[in-house]
Amino acid sequence: MTAFSYAARGLGDVLRRLDRVWATTALLFLGLVIAVPSQAGASFVFTLESFLWILPFLLISVLLAAWLKASGADQLVALAVSRKPLAAILIATLAGAFSPFCSCGVVPVVASLLAAGVPLSAVMAFWLSSPIMDPEMFVLMAAQLPFSFTLAKVAAALIIGLLAGGAVLVLERMGYLSNPLRADFAACGTSCGGGGPSDVRRPRWRFWHQAERRSLFATEARDVSLFLTKWLLLAFALESLMVAWLPGELVAQTLGGEGWQAVPLAVAVGVPAYLNGYAAIPLIGELMDNGMAWGAALAFMVAGGVTSLPASMAVYAVARRAVFTWYLLIALVGSLLIGFGYQALLVLS
């Protein structure tokens, strides 16, 4: 065998072992350094700042999931929620609507809930309602936009959370959407694949007294945190490019239409586009003053908050394809219904 053949085989082995997500992130920044050096620095700073902002939520959720698993309490949590699914969906929706998580920031929390065995119906309710509204956004919207519109966005968060939870509950009872976590995420730790202590059915709240449980806690925390970190870094890197090359002003200006036809356009633009919820407030307010349909404005803010590209990537990192598809579908349909419904209420009032 020639030296070239050995080198080719060695390179192939390295590529097979190389994690695709880390490699994509590295190649992205390498391409920026070569092609657009100034943007490379800006994207690096943006990615680092975004990750540092989300780091406390990441640590809390990962440590919580690892503690639940190591102590054996994850089974108790799942059992308690499963007994009253409707109540769990309502509580999850209320918690999501008033929690301080953005669309990417909620993913580590969602991952820990799924890893703990909480039913997908309750998790999906929290997942979709959380990015739409939070206390800080409520205060900013109330100060800059009509108060009735602010209350409508609160109602939208509650409606889409209940819609998501109810739809997934029906699907679960029909036998669909079992094992919602992706195989590679479930395999990165022991959250969904067993391997816990032999007496895991008897919770040990002070798990650190047993070496087996300490080892499980450390392995779980390490593997899950690394898995989520690589996907979040890639999501933030792509988000930095969307912020730089797809300014919020440009996105908002495409939504200046009036009437019912503006609602589907707002959802179509809001689903893939990035427009930070806080940055959207003054832009949407100006467009509303200039005649933009209020239903379209609400639909855009709801759709964009839940399904922006970075958020969708983070969801795709932890959820199976069927769950990811339903996540997008519920967000799309829910945003349309909310936009049309709010516009109808304004016409009738």
**Cβ pair 130, 166 in contact under 8 A:** no
3-state secondary structure of 181: strand
pTM of the model: 0.73
Q: How far is CA 321 from the centre of its chain?
A: 14
Within 10 A of 329 (CB to CB), how many other CB atoms are there? 12
Give the pLDDT of the chain (349 residues) as one tens digit per residue.
565 454 445 544 544 556 788 888 999 999 999 999 999 999 999 999 988 887 887 787 778 777 777 777 666 666 666 778 888 899 889 888 887 766 666 776 777 777 777 888 998 998 888 888 888 788 888 888 999 999 999 999 999 999 999 999 999 889 888 788 776 666 555 444 444 444 445 667 677 778 888 888 888 788 878 887 888 888 788 878 877 886 655 665 666 555 667 788 888 777 666 555 666 777 778 778 777 788 888 988 888 878 766 667 777 878 888 998 999 899 899 999 999 999 999 888 7
73-77 long-range contacts (CB < 8 A, ≥24 apart) are 73/203, 73/205, 74/115, 74/116, 74/117, 74/191, 75/117, 75/200, 75/201, 76/203, 77/116, 77/117, 77/118
Q: What is the DSSP letter of 205?
A: S
Of 112, 114, 123, 108, nearest to 55 (Cα)? 108
Query: Residue 181: beta bridge partners?
Result: 319
